[in-house]
Structure 1
């Protein structure tokens, strides 16, 4: 089983069948899709130095836009430890330059969380909690977070956390996957939001 099947157990079967297929992710068989982000919103302009640094590490970025083409690739691979890891690679094709948003996910089957390292190299870490709605959509919410400084990690104060909510579904009328991501800080406000749709493609 993949990490998401292991994590969700019986709830995995409650996902929309197309989401079950999307998150099956056999080892070394990437899921690749293309689509459009109908809306992308970055954060406050005064945070641009942070976004500029984050963009270099393939994390957040300063641009906002509408109807931005993008691609997503998910690859499950076996680590030297024998643990399964899923690599997330998202590319947003803005007119000026492409931007990237990478992540590496493994699971803690005891705590029932996904362990998410954000950026390349990793800049932040977050626990992720996965749930399935009655409609068969996948909802992901962030938990505890840490700063990642090379081999060191330190807890992030709650006032600095980027609280994440992700909703991923499948629109049968349009035959597309749908995605809505919100990253919000209780003190600063919006850090990033994007919403769009995509379809699986042969890579």
Structure 2
């Protein structure tokens, strides 16, 4: 049985809220499906949003913004072309007249003992992620070095071109739901996008 890649890499994993520990127990026999609402999706200048439109073709970025946006999330393990165990992250955001997707695959890098996040279908961007559980039971995720993926090659992105992401996920016991907040910013362009919301685990598949 292959253990969860997150148990291997989350600093102070034991501090996570029990619901988050269960959520990240993602291995061959555990998946996670959730449904909720993004209370806010915002950020990005007109130029940034025009650039993000290109991400629609790769199912990883989009330019739409709004409030109270329904969304679903699905996590399950997969086997990459290099025979590595990965975890799929498939997120669907439902705007009034369209659906937008944010897909990625996270893979455990055995040599460096870290998680690599491959964005898009096909993959167009790669980022190193650092996971840490805090004393309040929350999970914080920050991005590190990034590469553009073109024709099978990894092209390093300088810091001034990178999107630096900060993610905070918690479990709200009073409302019996998970909370998520994501902020991605660039050293020159400022906030690229930001979203926050809540979701609950659902049984079975979500669309």
The TM tier, using the shorter chain, reads over 0.9
Task: Give 1:175 deviation, angstroms.
Answer: 0.3
Aligned to 2:59: 58
Aligned with 1:18: secondary structure?
Answer: helix
Q: Deviations over 1:142-182 (max 9, x none)?
A: 00001111311100011011000000010000000000000
Question: 1:176 is matched with which residue?
Answer: 177
Name the CA distance, whole Å, in 1 between partners of 2:80 and 2:63: 33
User: Distance in 2 between the 1:146 and 1:79 partners?
Assistant: 18
Which residue matches 1:71?
72
- Spell out the pairing of 1:23-172 with structure 2 (5 A cutoff): 23-27=24-28, 29-79=30-80, 81-172=82-173
Question: Unaligned stretches of 5+ in structure 1?
Answer: none
SS of alignment partner, residue 10 of structure 2: helix
Q: TM-score, normalised by structure 2?
A: 0.92
Q: Provide, for residues 91-116 of structure 1, a one-character-per-residue CA deviation record: whole Å limited to 9, x for no partner.
A: 00000211000111011245332101
Q: C-alpha displacement at 1:8, in angstroms?
A: 2.7
Which range moved further: 70-79 or 14-23? Answer: 70-79
Query: Can you give the 5+ residue segments of structure 2 that lack an aligned partner in the other structure?
Result: none
Corresponding position: 1:194 with 2:202: no
Give CA deviations for 1:17-50 in whole Å, capped at 9, x if unaligned: 0001100013154210000000001411123431
- Please, what is the CA RMSD of the aligned residues? 1.5
- Contact 1:2–1:25 under 8 Å retained in 2: yes
Aligned residues of 1:27 and 1:78 also touching (Cα < 8 A) = no
CA contact (8 A) 1:7 1:109 kept: no
1:68-123: CA deviations, max 9, x gaps?
00000001123465521000000000002110001110112453321011111111
- Length-normalised TM-score, structure 1: 0.94
| Contact 2:130–2:144 (8 Å) recurs in 1 | yes
